[in-house]
Structure 1
Amino acid sequence: MTTVLIVDDHPVVRDGLRAVLSAEPDIEVVGECGRGDEAVAAAAALRPDVVLMDLRLPGLDGVDATARITAAGTAAVLVLTTYDSDGDILRAVEAGATGYLLKDASRQELARAVSAAARGETVLAPPVAAKLVGRLRGGRLLTPRETEVLTRIAKGLSNSDIGRALFIGEATVKSHVLRIFDKLGVRDRTAAVTTAIARGILPPPEDAGPDH
């Protein structure tokens, strides 16, 4: 029997998920809650096999709750959300989510995903899998040098300043910047930094360490 904790801030959604999962003979819903902090506490207390986690939650959001639950090893976390942006997907996966489903999944897909997550298998909705593959295919990830350049862009340095800091020419810096824009799908420096933070490539400003 696979035990499940449902986490969603909409009571109607929780009721629907409970009805769907409870209809499965090998799945038991052992609890539900509507906040991220409640999810962390409930997962520790109930020790379910799977936490079915929404991302948009009051207080502690779904990603942070996922990170705490997986770090404690109390349950596998299967994200179930309406959001499929690159930033949301990457943050959830990096937080330790075993799977990522969208709320348009069928009853059968949801039940199979819950069982698979309980077995430790990775479960990704097709659009989510396509986004992740697209991010990894064809060298779309930033190189170490591009990350160095982007880190200094985030600090507000100009191309000439970056060139001096990294001992490379300004034209080379400009080439790196253009490749960064292309890989991140942005057109300016501000968008590059914002996107990189959302995707976890750069830390949030308050977490950024000093430049050595």
Structure 2
Amino acid sequence: MDVMTMVSMLGGGFLVSLQIFAFTLVGSLPLGMLVAFARMSRVKPLALLARLYISLMRGTPLMLQMFAIYFVPYYVFGIDLSPDSKWQATIVAFIVNYAAYFAEIYRSGIQSIPRGQYEAAEVLGYSGAQTFMRIVLPQVVKRIMPAMTNEIITLVKDTSLAFSIGVIEMFTVAKQLVASQVSMLPFMIAALFYWVFNLLIELAASRVERKLSYYHD
């Protein structure tokens, strides 16, 4: 098998990896914000529930969570597994897992804003929503960008864990090619795919940080 054929096959697998990546971000970023607000809530049962959720998601392996979400409906509730069950379990597991990490990053950023800025906004007549959107949020985004970038890069690499329940993404394709071709070249090409994509993420994050540079800590 020639190199271009390998690249084409790995590219097809990478599209699946990108889908996992995109669906995870679309679901986990807003969910993480909701969990962060629940974690900071003055309603103690809600805050305790959010803390328990975060502890459970961060304290157990993502792979184990995928297995649980995939098999529990069948073994506990008797729901038959469909051809789409593996994909659905993968997306749900990734979203609920990464939402927990994003929630803690959001919380640390929000709580790092001095209380005086809220008081100053109140004096100027801003509502709570206006204060958060116009004053707090831009500063929070700037402060959490390094941590968020690190988690997003980790997410790109974690998409390879989907193979554990049979989702054929790029890492799975690379393993199949290595076995059939008796060559490490597919792994090297897959590594290049991951590296280039993560490099693009780093560049995009750096550009956002530069645009927010007028906010000084």
| TM-score over 0.5 for the pair | no
Higher RCO by CA contacts (8 Å cutoff, separation 6 or greater): 2
Normalization by structure 2: what TM-score?
0.28
Q: Which has the higher strand share?
A: 1
TM-score (norm. length: structure 1): 0.28
